[in-house]
Structure 1
Amino acid sequence: MAKQESVVNLVGLLSVEGQDLAASWIEEVSRSLGRRVSAAELERELRELYGALVEALRQGAVDVHSEEMSEVRALLTELSRSRARKGFSPTETAISVFALKRVLEPVLRDGSSGAVQAYLQLGKILDELGLYTIETYTQTRDALITAQAEQLLELSTPVVRLWDGVIAVPLVGTLDSARTQVVMEKLLQALVDTGSEQAIIDITGVPAVDTQVAQHLLKTIVAARLMGAECTVSGISPQIAQTIVALGIEFDGIVTKASLADALKLALRRSGVDTVVKEGGLR
């Protein structure tokens, strides 16, 4: 009986006769977001959410993780993802839920114990829904950051066709395991796509190489050989050379060149192309 009375009070709190609390909620959120969401979109989002919340409470839901609250959670998930993609902060996203508490404060003016109890109970529900919103927002932002990082890896690892049968991967910046894995995948795929038999991995723009990265590069070269291609590593700086020696990394059987130009000349000779050095450069 007490639970039924509590549900009635909660629904009554959100269904005050003669007052459009949803409209007040929309206006409150709109001000907090600086009207960076269109009025039509905000109206649709919050009216759907308001209706779903009232319906869930009518069904006796007081646990935000209950089946009755599934529609509310789904709408909050959609709202959170939308805010995350548009660059809103977690606070700006959660305010869409918490603002309803401020809108309901004037309803408590009658001071009845039932209204106060309902407000406190609804406040707890809204707090939990706000936390759910932040969690969903965080998951979406993490997914976006991961996707952007993967796209940057792709963009920062180009494969260039230098000559018929000769491709190169010019690397710039810090190499880590994830990036060297991308290098391997893109290089091997380029060998297939272009039918090249010579590949150059140029690390002129790489400031440092550790044991793990060196091992990945070695595996890339071995994989290329298994596909019938020869690899040359160019651009090894004195600092990287000293590091490789100090770490005891074996580069036996792997051709290295000081510059990309030297590596290209070697690759062309291997491909049967005659090169003549004239004044002004390679011909």
Structure 2
Amino acid sequence: MEGGKEHGVIVAKFAPPQQNLIEQLQVKYKELEKGFQAWLAEQTLPVETVVNSAINGAQGAAMGYFMGILTKDVSTSIPTASQANLNPQAMASFQQAQALAGGPLIQARNFAVMTSVNAGISTVMKRLRGKEDIQNSMAAAFGSGAMFTLVSGMGGPNPLANAVSSGLFFALIQGGIYKLGEKFSQPPAEDIYYSKTRSMLNNLGLQKYEKNFKQGLLTDNTLPLLNDSALRDVKIPPGPRLLILDHIERDPEWKEVRKQPVK
């Protein structure tokens, strides 16, 4: 029996691990994407702009084509301009509805122009200004919104004025989205006091007890002073308490601090 167990352990140890094909493809894709981005960053501004515009334009065309298929039934129910006896203001709204409810090819063209212009302006702004911020994002949104209005036929009787209005609307929306993204992507201000605590808990597999530390105001500065009583007060179970205290005891950064008497 013992020999069989040892043989099983050896086989398990040297057997090749099963690899997930999807994970392999994801890793390969990330490597290719990283290499492509590194190559693109070394190119001149015109080359980078053209490549980014082409890639995003193709993505926009695919998205627009799909949307055109979904709205195809709607577009067939809208009468043609010759069938509609409308005043100028109503005719402008009618043209906008036609533009938004166009077929797959029309929507593919409209979205391709919008996304390629957005990518082109973003690339130029980022390269010239050396950073990516809300100004770049809003400028790109303005240009893409204006071009979408002109290409799609939503301009009506005053295409330039409507293009500017649409561009401003796109820019304001994009600016708001950018600010919301910044707000939700940044950790709360209080998290800076729990960076070491979070790292310790992650290493121990005790991430779920971070909220206990915060509820008890046990910040990074209190880590060298922790004892069983303090951890018990914040309702951390005995097992995790032992792991946390042992980790702190072994950490050379905090070992000397713990030896010092508390004043």
Smaller-chain TM-score range? Answer: 0.3 to 0.5
TM-score, structure 1 as length reference: 0.32
Greater strand content: 1
Which is helix-richer, 1 or 2?
2
Q: Which protein is bigger by CA-based radius of gyration?
A: 1
TM superposition score normalised by structure 2: 0.34
